[in-house]
Amino acid sequence: MDSPGTSADSEPTEPGPERRTRGGIWKNGLNWTRILHVYTSMLALLVVLFFGATGVTLNHPEWTFGFDPTSASYSGTLPAGWLADDGSVEFLTVSEYLRDTYGVDGEVADFGTDLGDGYISYREPGYTADAFFDLETGDYRLAIEQQGWIGVLNELHKGRDTGSSWSWLIDVSGLFLVVIATTGLGLQLFLAKRRRAALLWALAGSLATIALIAIAVA
């Protein structure tokens, strides 16, 4: 028997325009969040793996995996031409001599004179070279330290002694990680069945992180 006020030939009521619009916006939001999350994750896959792995090795500097640091020291006297006619130091001449003689690598990080000595410092990830020379005699001493491959990767993680291109990559990588995290959270918010559990896990992880930070700085 038909219920009062209805007809056997009546058709199901379709959702109104407002409900369809709301559902369409919600579905589009879910789709775009999923697309952004997936492709950002794939694009930044190697970068995320790199910073994740080197984050662990940074926390354990004793893990060299056989690639131990090496160091060397040299001394001698600079050849003629390291002083200009006016008595100033020809730093370019000194630097070229050190590079040609000892294979000094890296960019010049600092140079100058101080208390009767001249100095030149070279830096690149996992590599340091420091030369000091007497401004009267030209006698010099050179110390070179080269980290193993793990040390080099750790230095890249920290962005130490790297060029502007690597600094730019670190900035972009940080942005990717922010997008991956926020879209991952957004996906869970769109899924009603998982929303509550996802928020609880996010809250638990956040509280644990805050607690560990408080313990570390205490």
Strand partners, 132: 119, 141
Whether 202 shows a pLDDT value over 90: the answer reads: no
- At residue 1, the pLDDT reads 46
| Percent of the chain clearing pLDDT 90 (strictly above) | 34
Of 158, 200, 186, whose CA–CA distance to 59 is shortest? 158
Fold of the domain spanning 70-152:
TATA-Binding Protein (3.30.310)
Q: Which pLDDT tens digit goes with each residue over 124-135?
A: 999 999 999 999
Tell me the pLDDT tens digit for each residue of 85-120: 888 999 999 999 999 999 999 999 999 998 889 999
The CA distance from 141 to 144, in Å, is: 10
Show Cβ contacts of residue 144 under 8 Å, excluding neighbours closer than 6 positions. Answer: 71, 72, 73, 74, 102, 104, 127, 128, 129
Please state the pTM of the whole predicted model. Answer: 0.70
Quote the CA–CA distance of 149 and 133 in Å, as a whole number.
30
pLDDT of residue 133: 96
Q: Which two tokens stand for residue 87?
A: 């008595």
Looking at residue 162, the DSSP 8-state letter turns out to be -
Domain extent listing, the chain = 70-152, 163-218
